[in-house]
Copies of this chain bind each other. A is one copy, B any other.
């Protein structure tokens, strides 16, 4: 069955929607595990509110607040043991993609033989839908789309490999998208997660498996991000901008859930897999200028359409010229948002480039890009990313 769109997640969207957490979670049992980053950050009020709401709905709450960016098997395995011991009924990931992906992986790890890593697609074991704990995603960033996907991405630090559970069992039962929670998001997080959402829409739109239905969602998402992200960074507390970006993130999440990502993710994932201090969104921002230059000749019309969201003056030039401007437009946006960078600036060792190339050419995302690079061409792109020009 060649599905163009399937989205079984009940999406609770809008200002104040966090208030529904208790009611929703209570449908799935008596004990919830609340999975978050450490509680002392900007999200502390949201964590406390979530815990209170769950307890008010009669649930026992087990908190696990050791989520790390680019989540690891170390934390996931530790939390899975706790979830099993505490007989958790429902997993709640509250935070950005790292918290949600950690909750998803625990939902598998706590209910299956072995550990969560055994169920990433590269290990070829399949999680059982009915065994996997139900998951509720509460997203506090506008970027990863994880609240709408059947993917959980995490890293095995022993192998220095980042991989993904791909299974309908980890589709959240419900996703709460409350723009109020996004008003305290720092500028760098807004920029990198917002850019991540842009990449989801862009890569679904230009994917060789793109479909006309999802294309429309991708276009809406990209137009919102290009026209709103900088304004939200300048006015972090503005609820209208936060709501628009949450919409863009959710729509682009639906895009990747149904079509999927391409070459930037196959190069970006090993970078943050091997260098966990590089966030997922930052790794994509790094890759984009070179990826766009490499790919543009293979996808002129779509590149041109997106370029015109950045610069309406490009309405008056040919598709060829507009498409060739996209890399510059993206670089300029990145510069204005302070996320334009290089491998050197990100402290990625030069010696690691060959390993990144090897992982990238093994990744299936590479082969749905409109132009498929050889290993040498991936290496050339990475060499070009060494220093900013």
Give the contacting residue for A14; candidates B8, B24, B211; CB below 8 A.
B211
Of A159-167, A242-250, A295-303, A337-345, which binds chain B? Answer: A242-250
A1 within 8 A of B: yes
User: Do A14 and B212 have beta carbons less than 8 Å apart?
Assistant: yes
User: Do A10 and B1 have beta carbons less than 8 Å apart?
Assistant: yes
Given A212-B13, A212-B244, A213-B13, are A20 and B1 also a contact pair (CB < 8 Å)?
Answer: yes
Number of interface residues of A (CB under 8 A): 33
A318 within 8 A of B: no
> What residues of chain B lie closer than 8 Å to A20, measured between beta carbons?
1-2
User: Do B4 and A12 have beta carbons less than 8 Å apart?
Assistant: yes
A23 to B211, CA, bound (A): 20
A343 to B124, CA, bound (A): 64
Give the contacting residue for A3; candidates B1, B11, B212; CB below 8 A.
B11
A174 to B20, CA, bound (A): 30
Give the contacting residue for A251; candidates B2, B9, B177, B216; CB below 8 A.
B216
- Considering only residues 139-194 of chain A, those with a C-beta below 8 Å from chain B are 174, 177
A7 within 8 A of B: yes
Give the contacting residue for A4; candidates B5, B14, B224; CB below 8 A.
B14
- Considering only residues 177-234 of chain A, those with a C-beta below 8 Å from chain B are 177, 211-213, 216-217, 219-220, 224
A211 to B179, CA, bound (A): 13
A216 to B14, CA, bound (A): 13
The residue of chain B having its C-beta at the shortest distance from the C-beta of A14 within the complex is: B211
A212 to B177, CA, bound (A): 11
A243 to B13, CA, bound (A): 29
A159 to B162, CA, bound (A): 63
Give chain B nearest CB distance to A26 CB in angstroms.
11
User: Do A216 and B220 have beta carbons less than 8 Å apart?
Assistant: yes
> What residues of chain B lie closer than 8 Å to A5, measured between beta carbons?
7, 11, 13, 250
Given A1-B174, A2-B17, A174-B1, are A216 and B247 also a contact pair (CB < 8 Å)?
Answer: yes
A12 to B212, CA, bound (A): 11
A9 to B7, CA, bound (A): 8
A238-263, CB under 8 A of B: which get 1 and which 0?
Answer: 00000110010011000000000000
Which 7 A-B pairs have CB atoms at the shortest separation, nearest pair first?
A: A4-B13, A5-B11, A13-B213, A6-B10, A8-B8, A7-B7, A3-B10
What is the interface of chain A, defined by CB distance below 8 A to chain B? 1-14, 17, 20, 23-24, 174, 177, 211-213, 216-217, 219-220, 224, 243-244, 247, 250-251
* 23 pairs from A and B in contact (CB 8 Å cutoff): A1-B20, A1-B24, A1-B174, A2-B20, A3-B10, A3-B12, A4-B11, A4-B12, A4-B17, A4-B177, A5-B7, A5-B13, A6-B9, A7-B7, A13-B212, A14-B212, A14-B213, A212-B244, A212-B247, A213-B247, A216-B224, A216-B247, A220-B220
